[in-house]
Amino acid sequence: MPADFDADLVIDANAALLGLEIGPEQRPGVVQFLKLAAQMAALVEAAPIGDTLELDGAFHPVAP
């Protein structure tokens, strides 16, 4: 997790954008899970995948 990761900042910025209300009762739990997600994101970011954009799925056009 980046040392400067600020879960409260993420909540304040994104909850309103998405129309989500996160009250004082939920905030500690949401902060805990945001920090955990940030740790996971750091692992994902560190994977040496190279400068590619190959996703795990391919879109298949739907024929009539």
Partner 1 sequence: MSVDPFAPAREIAAAVREGRTTAVAVTRLFLDRIEAIDPVLNAYTEVTAARAMAAAHAIDARKAKGEPLGPLAGVPFAVKNLLDLEGVVTRAGSKINRENAPATRDAVLVERLIAADAVPLGALNMGEYAYDFTGENVHDGACRNPHDPDHMTGGSSSGCGAATGGGLAPISLGSDTNGSIRVPSSLCGIFGLKPTYGRLPRTRSFPFCDSLDHLGPFARNVGDLALAYDLLQGHDAGDHACADRPVEPVSDKLPLGAAGLRVAVLGGHFDTAGMAAAARAVDRVARALGARRTIELPGAAEGRAAAFLITNTESAAFHLNRLRARPMDFDPETRDRFLAGALLPAAWSVKAHQVRRWYAEKAAAVFREFDLLIAPSTPMCAPEIGQKTMELHGKTVPLRPMFGLFTQPISAIGLPVCAVPVPVAGEGGLPIGVQLIAAPWREDRVLRAAAWLEAEGLAHAPLPPG
Nearer of residues 3 and 41 to partner 1, judged by Cβ = 41
% helix, strand, coil for the chain, step of 5: 50, 0, 50
Beta-carbon contacts of 38 under 8 Å, excluding residues fewer than 6 positions away, are: 1, 2, 5, 7
Q: Does 57 bind partner 1 (CB under 8 A)?
A: yes
Q: Does 33 bind partner 1 (CB under 8 A)?
A: yes
Q: Are 34 and 10 in contact (CB under 8 A)?
A: yes
Count of residues in contact with partner 1, rule CB under 8 A? 32
Binding-site ranges for partner 1 (CB under 8 A): 10-11, 14-15, 18-22, 26, 29-30, 32-34, 36-37, 39-41, 43-47, 49, 52-57
